[in-house]
Structure 1
Amino acid sequence: MSSSASATPSLSDVIDKLLDQSPLDDFVSCAQDFSVATPIIPPKLALLYVRFQEDIPNISSLAEFLSSQAVNYALSRRRREAYIAALKAGKNGDLSVASQVHRAVKSAFIEFRTEYPSRASEVGEVLAYSVAVSRLNAAQLVAKMSLKTSTNMPVHGLDGIHASVKDGVLNIFFLESKLAGSAASGTADYAESVAGFGGNQKQYLQEYGMVRDLGNLDALGPEDRERLMEYLDVFGKPNAPKRERSVGVICYSETKHFGNKIPVDDGPLDKHEMHFSQLYANDYGRHHKNVTNQLAAQGVDANKCMLYLVAVPDVDKLRVEFYDSLGIAPALADVDLTVSEVDEDE
C-alpha cells in the first residue's frame, strides 16, 4: 500500500540533496563556540582561527583550500552537474573537461574584479560559504557569484543564502562576509550591512526572487522543488513558517595574539596553537561587547544574528594567496586592510 504522505519528501531530505561538503575544520579551528555563554546572550558569537603547522599559522593551506571551494561557491548546481555528466561521459580516462571547470571559475572571478575593483573580497565570500556548509550544515540555495557577473544582476546584496533544517524547522541564513584589518572594524561593517538589508523590503524580496527563479532549486526534481517552495515563495506564501537569521563571517588580521609566540621545543606539537587559542578565547567578552554595541547602534535585533570571527595573521596575505591559487594576478586597486595597532573596544 502507498499513501500520499509517504510520497511527500521531507524538508531534511530535500536540503540534503543540495548540501555540499566543505571540510573547513581541517584548516580552521574554533577557540570559542556559541555555547560559551549560559544562558546565551545575543548575538551568538564564535571565534575561529587559521590552524597551525606546529608554530606557524598556515595561511597558505587555508588559501588553497578556499580556492578549491570556489568551484562549488561560484558555479550553480545545474552547471556543476553538467560538468560532472561530461566527465562521466568521457572515454578512456578523458579529463579535458576539468580544465573547462577551472577556466569557468577563474573567468568569473576575473570578470568581477575587473568590473568592481573596490569589492575584491571574494575570499571572504568563499569562506562564508564554507562556514555555512561545515558549521551550520546549511545548503547553498543560490550561487550568488554566477549572478554577480551577469550584466542585469545587482552587484550589491547578500553574499549568500543558505538553508538547513533543525527539529523539523526550516532555517534560512542570510550571509554577510567581511574582510577587515581588525575585528572591531569588521563587525562594525557587518552591523551596518545587516541594518541596511533589514530595512530594505525591496532587496529582501529580490533575494528570494533570485532563489526562486535563478537558484539551485532547478537542480531538484519537481516534487522536491515544490516542497521547498512551500516555504521560500515569499510572494505567494509570505507567512510560511521558517526562521531567518543573519550570519556574519568576519575574517580579520589578529596581529597582537599571532605575534605573541612561545619557543619551539620538543614538547606537545599543538602547544603553539593552544597558546594562541587561549589568548584568543580570553578576548571573547571584548569582542562580544563590541558587536553588541554596534548592532544596537544600528537598531539591529541581536537575537537574529550570529557571527563568526575568523582570525588570521594577515588578511591581505590570505587574499593575495587565494587569488594566486586561482591563477589570478593581484589587482592594483586592492587596498591593504591589515593594521598594526591593537584592536580597541568601540
Structure 2
Amino acid sequence: MPSSSDSSLPLNAVIEKLLDESPLDDFVNCAVDLSSASDTPPKISLLHVRFREDIPNTSSLADFLSNQAVNYALSRRRRDAYIAELTAGKNGDLSLANQISKAVRNAFIQFRKEYPSRASEVGEVLAYCVAVHHLKAAQLVAKMSLKTSTNMPVHGLDGIHAAVKDGVLNVFFLESKLAGSAASGTADYAESVSGFGSSKKQYLQEYGLVRDLGNLDALSVTDKEYLMEYLDVFGKPNAQRRERSVGVVCYSETKHFANKVPVDDGPLDKHELHFSGLYSKDYDRHHKNVINQLASHGVDPSKCLLFLVAVPDVDELREEFYDALGLPPVATEAILAITSVAKDEQE
C-alpha cells in the first residue's frame, strides 16, 4: 500500500476534503450511541426526533433534511462549481441560489415521476446525515444525481461513505428504510444487506460508480490516485480497507410518543428525557430482534451497524419533507402499512 509520502496529504486528510458538515444533533437526539452499545454484534444506536417542549418536532426535522438534500443530491464537483460561481458574483448577486434549488427539486421530481413506488428519499437524506455526523464519513458518490441520469441503475445502495479510523480506511455501504415499525424496518434491512452481500456484480458496480462517477473527481489528481489505491477493487482487490453495512431505519414509534408527562413550569427538556428513557429501555429487545433477523438471512452481524430513528409518524415526516422542498404529494405513493403491534409482539 502507498505511504503518506505518495500523496500531498495523509489518508485521513484526503478524506476530510470530501467531508460535509451536518448538525444532526440539533434535530435528532441520540438516546443510545454505538460506543455504549452491547459488546455482542451488531452495534446499534437509538436515535429519535427532538422535542419542542412536549411536542416531537417533526416539522423542524423535515425542514433540516430538505436543506441537507442539496449536499446529498448534488455531486461535489457540481457543488464546487456553484460555489465558485457564487463567489465570483458581483455586488452580492445571489440569483444563482434559485438555480441551485431548482436543480435539487428537479432531481427529486424526476426520480419520483419515474419511480413513484420508491419515493422514500427522505430516508436516504437522513442516512446521509447520520453517516456524516455520527460516523464522520465522507460521501464518495452522490447517488441521487446518478439515479436521475440515463441508463444509471435505480436499485442498489443508498449511499457509499468513507472514514479513516486508527489509520484504516472504513467504507460504509448505506441502506435506508422507512417503516411502520422497528421490526418491519430492520427485517427489510436484513433482507437488503443479504442481497447486496451475495451479489458480486452489484458490489463491483457500486465501486465502479465511485471510480468513474464519484465525488473523488473533486480532488486533485494526486489525491484521487492515492485514495483509489484503497478503493480500486478491480486492480487491487486485497487493498487495506474495512467494509461495513450501515442500516438507517426511520420508523413510527407509536407507543412511547403516546406516553406523555404533564406540561408544567419544570425543566423544558423533561418531555424529551422522558421519551428517551422509555426508548433506551427497548435497546435489548431491538438488539435481539436484529440479531435474529440477520441470522435468518445468513448475514454476519459483526459487519453491520444500525441506527434506529424513532419519529411519531414516518408518513408525516415524508410529506413534510416533500412540502419543504416545494414538491406536491404523489398520488400513487404507497402509504406504509402500520403493522407495529403485530411485528413488535414477535420481537
2:33 aligned partner, one-letter code? D
Unpaired segments of 5 or more residues in structure 2? none
CA separation of 1:55 and 1:155: change in aligned 2, threshold 3 A: same
1:327 lines up with 2:341 in the alignment: no
2:181 aligned partner, one-letter code? S
Q: Residues 62-81 of structure 1: matches in 2 within 5 Å? A: 62-81=61-80
Deviation at 1:340, TM superposition (A): 6.8
The answer (yes or no) to whether the contact 2:181–2:340 under 8 Å persists in 1 is: no
The answer (yes or no) to whether the contact 2:37–2:45 under 8 Å persists in 1 is: no
CA distance in 2, matches of 1:7, 1:282: 47
CA distance in 1, matches of 2:58, 2:4: 52
The answer (yes or no) to whether the contact 1:286–1:345 under 8 Å persists in 2 is: no
Percent of aligned pairs sharing the same letter: 75
Partner of 2:132: 133
The answer (yes or no) to whether the contact 1:172–1:243 under 8 Å persists in 2 is: yes
1:116 lines up with 2:115 in the alignment: yes
1:205 aligned partner, one-letter code? L
CA distance in 1, matches of 2:215, 2:36: 35
Partner of 1:43: 42
Q: Residues 1-346 of structure 1: matches in 2 within 5 Å? A: 5=5, 8-37=8-37, 40-337=39-336, 339=338, 342=341, 343-346=344-347
The answer (yes or no) to whether the contact 1:251–1:309 under 8 Å persists in 2 is: yes
Moved more, 333-342 or 277-286: 333-342
Q: Deviations over 1:89-118 (max 9, x none)?
A: 111111010001000000000000000000
CA distance in 2, matches of 1:344, 1:259: 18
The answer (yes or no) to whether the contact 2:46–2:280 under 8 Å persists in 1 is: yes
Q: Deviations over 1:272-319 (max 9, x none)?
A: 000000100000011011111000000000000000000000000000
Question: SS of the residue aligned with 2:160?
Answer: strand
CA distance in 1, matches of 2:304, 2:236: 24
The answer (yes or no) to whether the contact 1:9–1:223 under 8 Å persists in 2 is: no
CA distance in 2, matches of 1:339, 1:305: 26
Aligned length: 343
CA separation of 1:49 and 1:4: change in aligned 2, threshold 3 A: closer
CA separation of 1:4 and 1:48: change in aligned 2, threshold 3 A: closer
CA distance in 2, matches of 1:345, 1:264: 34
The answer (yes or no) to whether the contact 2:4–2:10 under 8 Å persists in 1 is: no
Q: Deviations over 1:231-258 (max 9, x none)?
A: 0010000000000000000000000000
CA distance in 1, matches of 2:119, 2:190: 20
The answer (yes or no) to whether the contact 1:178–1:249 under 8 Å persists in 2 is: yes
1:34 aligned partner, one-letter code? L
1:127 aligned partner, one-letter code? L
CA separation of 1:259 and 1:285: change in aligned 2, threshold 3 A: same
Question: How does the TM-score come out when normalised to structure 2?
Answer: 0.97
The answer (yes or no) to whether the contact 2:193–2:245 under 8 Å persists in 1 is: yes
The answer (yes or no) to whether the contact 2:37–2:44 under 8 Å persists in 1 is: no
CA distance in 2, matches of 1:225, 1:7: 9
CA distance in 2, matches of 1:338, 1:119: 15
The answer (yes or no) to whether the contact 2:66–2:321 under 8 Å persists in 1 is: yes
The answer (yes or no) to whether the contact 2:294–2:300 under 8 Å persists in 1 is: yes
Question: SS of the residue aligned with 1:18?
Answer: coil
CA distance in 2, matches of 1:45, 1:4: 33
Deviation at 1:333, TM superposition (A): 1.5
Deviation at 1:150, TM superposition (A): 1.0
RMSD of aligned residue pairs (Cα, Å)? 1.4
Question: SS of the residue aligned with 2:328?
Answer: coil
The answer (yes or no) to whether the contact 2:29–2:48 under 8 Å persists in 1 is: yes
Deviation at 1:260, TM superposition (A): 0.5
Deviation at 1:37, TM superposition (A): 4.2
Question: SS of the residue aligned with 1:85?
Answer: helix
CA distance in 2, matches of 1:173, 1:6: 25
- Structure 1's consecutive aligned runs of 4 or more residues displaced over 4 angstroms after TM superposition are none
Deviation at 1:341, TM superposition (A): 5.0
Q: Deviations over 1:189-244 (max 9, x none)?
A: 00000000000000000000000000000000011101100000100000000000
CA separation of 1:225 and 1:339: change in aligned 2, threshold 3 A: same
Deviation at 1:51, TM superposition (A): 0.2
